[in-house]
Amino acid sequence: MNSIKTTRQVKALGLCSGGLDSMLAALILKDQGIDVTWISFETPFFDAKAAQKASKQTGIPLIVKDITDDYMQMIKAPKAGFGKNMNPCMDCHTLMFAKAGAMMAQTGADFLFSGEVAGQRPKSQTKSSLRYVEKHCGFDGLILRPLSAGLLPETIAEQKGLVDRSRLLSFSGRSRKPQAALAEKYGITEYPSPAGGCLLTDKGFSQRLRDLLYIQKTEDKTQLHLLKHGRHFRLDSRSKLVVGRNKAENKRIITLYDPKTHIRLRCTHLPGPDSLVFGQTDETALHLAATITSGYTKASAGTLTTISVFQKQETRQIEVVTPESDAFHNLLIQTP
């Protein structure tokens, strides 16, 4: 039964990662008769696939929005700093709530919400961190966290009677048992593990990103997406090589290949990887890239291998001595 004292249906817009906490937070509000909509943000570091699955599973409408440009500006110098790797969790959440808040009028939402649990994560979900996000996103007092609301200050929605605070929860800490029990009550049997899907928490991926931002000094979206695929080699301060690790990765790399700006390398007479070279490349760097590429073909070490070079409208061959596959390990940027 709807206990909210209002002449119209209350609406809420929530951040959705697609995880169990997101689903439970939305369903708790739906139980109060609130019309909930989710929004999920995408960048090269995380996507909305899990949120889309959760939306299909629960029937809750989902908005998906790419925020790469704004995210890259934020990640250059996050005010609250980074976590263990390149994860700017507090400023990431701040940006997401700012973006969601800007859409409140468009969606008719009365407040924002999320599935965050106080104390669940040591940096981004402490009470002080949750407060930081609220203060800096521009929507102070308008963010409700239904799973931990009983442990947090009343929001404007609760004060106005739009939400019944007594029906909200007081979850805290890292235990997942309360969520699992609630999931069973709602009949939720499928949900992703709580590890999260943000690549910025991965040490190897973070090293690749640092290299791209601080050595290559670029925020090119294609290269950001390519950080997820292949072996990455730093040829010199101006150029970089990405080498496919298997057939599936070769296909992904080629889908991101732009013949106008990228150089493609391929051994045409033996099985081997597709490789792409980025940046300002001279003949020395290009020869090195061809040599590294040959090391991952079926050619024997020490033999001559011909590598085809596809550069703009021209195709030419470079003959190199095939090295051992790990000969240039010192140039390898850490693998995720």
Mean pLDDT of each 10-residue bin along the chain, 336 residues long: 64 96 98 98 96 96 98 96 93 98 96 94 84 97 98 97 98 93 94 79 94 93 94 94 96 94 94 95 96 96 97 94 93 76
User: What gap in Å lies between CA 175 and CA 120, rounded to an integer?
Assistant: 8
Confidence at residue 57, expressed as pLDDT on a 0 to 100 scale? 95
User: What gap in Å lies between CA 114 and CA 324, rounded to an integer?
Assistant: 51
* Of 223, 320, 211, 222, nearest in space to 265 by CA: 320
* Of 127, 214, 95, 118, nearest in space to 173 by CA: 118
> In the numeric block, which tokens belong to residue 332?
């390898």
Confidence at residue 298, expressed as pLDDT on a 0 to 100 scale? 94
Contact present, 16 and 55 (Cβ < 8 Å): yes
> In the numeric block, which tokens belong to residue 12?
């809420």
Q: pTM for the complete prediction?
A: 0.90
In order of start, what are the domains of the chain with their CATH numbers? 11-198 (3.40.50.620), 202-333 (no CATH)
Confidence at residue 325, expressed as pLDDT on a 0 to 100 scale? 83
* Of 172, 93, 74, nearest in space to 133 by CA: 93
User: What gap in Å lies between CA 227 and CA 205, rounded to an integer?
Assistant: 7
Contact present, 74 and 88 (Cβ < 8 Å): yes
**Got the DSSP string for 80-139?**
T---SSS--HHHHHHHHHHHHHHTHHHHT-SEEE----BTSSTTTSSHHHHHHHHHHHT-
> In the numeric block, which tokens belong to residue 159?
């004060």
Confidence at residue 1, expressed as pLDDT on a 0 to 100 scale? 38
